[in-house]
Structure 1
Amino acid sequence: MERVSEPLLRVRGLTLRFGGVTALDSVDLDVDRGELLAVIGPNGAGKTSIFNCLNGVYRPQEGTITLDGQPLTGRAPAAVAALGVARTFQNLGLFTHLTLVENLMLGRHHLMRTGFLTGMLWWGRAKREEIAHRAAVEEVVELLELEPYRHTPAGLLPYGVAKRAELGRALAMEPRLLLLDEPVAGMNLEETEDMARYLVEVRRELKPAMILVEHDMRLVMDLADRVLALDFGVMVATGTPEHIQSDPDVIAAYLGGAA
């Protein structure tokens, strides 16, 4: 993807240590508006650590993270979310006893402005606000074709649908940057193809920047504009999917040697 303006996300010199273990070592990355960057690497390469730094769960010892010029380093996760960063999780983080729509409404929390009392009474501004947020959630439900499961408790959803609901809750946050942590983990081929189709629809309709962490190389190579390869927290290569597929270091480390 040709860069025509400053990137939405800029990471420079990101270094994260746990005692004597360096999880990330001087990682640099940019993500443009509307771009999908995939991060690949074996378990322990530092992929999830990058996400945890980006959304404020971890505080790196060195480096800077800026979103549209605003620093993210040192901000609490709620503050990062308020700036437009949303995340899905490899292990589902849905509230099992809440319905699908109620789970998606939780993604609107940081956009709500009414207080506890007016919300409890559900009158005036609180009523108007909830109606507007529910309308926004219904747009996400329609985009991800979740209508049949609208009132189903999350704990009763089929696995593939639950992963879609996890994506829907992140989209309900209206993110500028969407962090996708293994969105097809545990899915069969049909479910994986469905999720790929929904991600394409999300890009076309909502146009968020995305960072995708995924072990499914076919999905990565089909969807990504650029790919960043990590090994033990160190950047191995970055470039287009075609470049990464032909990079000898990446082939040796991730794609099976001479594969």
Structure 2
Amino acid sequence: MSANRTGTPVLELDDVHLSFKGVKAVNGVSFEVRPGELFAVIGPNGAGKTSLFNVISGVYKPQQGSVRFLGEDVLGKKPSDIAARGVSRTFQNIALFEHLTLIDNMMLGRHQHISYGAGAAIAWWGRARRQEVEHRRKVEEIVDFLELAAWRALPVGLLPYGVQKRVELGRALAMEPKLLLLDEPVAGMNLEETEDTARFVLDIRDELDVPIIMVEHDMGLVMDLADRVMVVDFGTPITTGTPDEVQRHPDVVRAYLGEELST
């Protein structure tokens, strides 16, 4: 387990509001993510969870509030600038290049670490060659970490769905993130694939020491894995706490079940 989850927050959101034509997608959300923490965001469909990810990664700019990453105000920064600072993410829907191999897809995650130009790449000498070798070494380490070696040379379009989701996770790791955003990492998976993914998510947190924010509808997975959970409904935060605290909160029960918690 990560040793320090009480240090300076990796990410801080304060009173974030985001609206689209008067419709509140994010309504007064505040939270922090601590070093080495797996922080989960849950809520019914349409609760604003993906919009929150888009705010953190710079896709959306909220009308109000602040977003600080590693102590720096990143509100209004371009998504590429925020990614370069160390925020990487996966998506609800697989966003891979299906005709490229597993390795080539994961190499795309190394783009921000490349410091040579097109000319050097064409010449394939000196710094370009040395960096390419190093980038491939990093990717091969991730392939081994995620147990993907059996598929490394295949086009990802030929791979099983669960493996494709793992490749997308690997591409996010190839960026060497300081914060990883997982948007429904087990959506559409069978039980075996879900269990495999859960194991890898814990390994990322505990072995690689990468803090994680996870949006997920699988409540069993969330309650088993998360250190803390924030519940949102119609863009508004209901409560934040440990999985046990959240499951016992009467407003959470009402949001999910439409009834009071029995005692």
C-alpha offsets along residues 83-107 of structure 1, whole Å, 9 cap, x if unaligned? Answer: 0000000100001111000000000
1:80 is matched with 82
Q: Distance in 2 between the 1:157 and 1:113 partners?
A: 32
SS of residue in 2 equivalent to 1:206: coil
Aligned-pair CA distance for 1:116: 1.0
Are residue 102 (structure 1) and residue 104 (structure 2) matched?
Answer: yes
Q: Distance in 1 between the 2:4 and 2:86 partners?
A: 23
Are residue 140 (structure 1) and residue 145 (structure 2) matched?
Answer: no
Q: Distance in 1 between the 2:110 and 2:257 partners?
A: 39
Determine which of 17, 23, 34 is the counterpart of 1:21: 23
1:209 is matched with 211
Aligned-pair CA distance for 1:9: 0.5
Are residue 92 (structure 1) and residue 75 (structure 2) matched?
Answer: no
Which consecutive residues of structure 2, in runs of 5 or more, have no partner in the other structure? none
Please list, as runs of the form range in 1=range in 2, the aligned pairs for 1:140-219 lying within 5 A after superposition.
140-219=142-221
When the two structures are aligned, how many residues end up with a matched partner? 259
Gap change, CA 1:223 and 1:110, over 3 Å in 2: same
Which consecutive residues of structure 1, in runs of 5 or more, have no partner in the other structure? none
Aligned-pair CA distance for 1:4: 3.1
Are residue 34 (structure 1) and residue 36 (structure 2) matched?
Answer: yes
Are residue 119 (structure 1) and residue 151 (structure 2) matched?
Answer: no
8 Å contact 2:5–2:36 — kept in the other structure? no
TM-score normalized by structure 1?
A: 0.97
Q: Distance in 2 between the 1:60 and 1:107 partners?
A: 27
Aligned-pair CA distance for 1:3: 5.4
8 Å contact 2:90–2:168 — kept in the other structure? yes
TM-score normalized by structure 2?
A: 0.96
Identity %: 57
Q: Distance in 1 between the 2:4 and 2:18 partners?
A: 30
Q: Distance in 1 between the 2:103 and 2:63 partners?
A: 39
SS of residue in 2 equivalent to 1:200: helix
Whichever residue aligns with residue 227 of structure 2, its letter is D
Gap change, CA 1:119 and 1:239, over 3 Å in 2: same
SS of residue in 1 equivalent to 2:12: strand
4+ runs deviating over 4 angstroms: none
Whichever residue aligns with residue 56 of structure 1, its letter is G
SS of residue in 1 equivalent to 2:212: strand
1:46 is matched with 48
Aligned-pair CA distance for 1:71: 1.4
Q: Distance in 1 between the 2:232 and 2:87 partners?
A: 22
Aligned-pair CA distance for 1:5: 2.2
8 Å contact 2:5–2:35 — kept in the other structure? no
Aligned-pair CA distance for 1:252: 1.5
8 Å contact 2:92–2:184 — kept in the other structure? yes
C-alpha offsets along residues 179-234 of structure 1, whole Å, 9 cap, x if unaligned? Answer: 00000000011110110011111112211110000000000000000000000010
When the two chains are superposed, the root-mean-square deviation of aligned CA atoms in Å is 1.4
2:240 is matched with 238
Q: Distance in 2 between the 1:229 and 1:28 partners?
A: 12
Aligned-pair CA distance for 1:154: 1.1
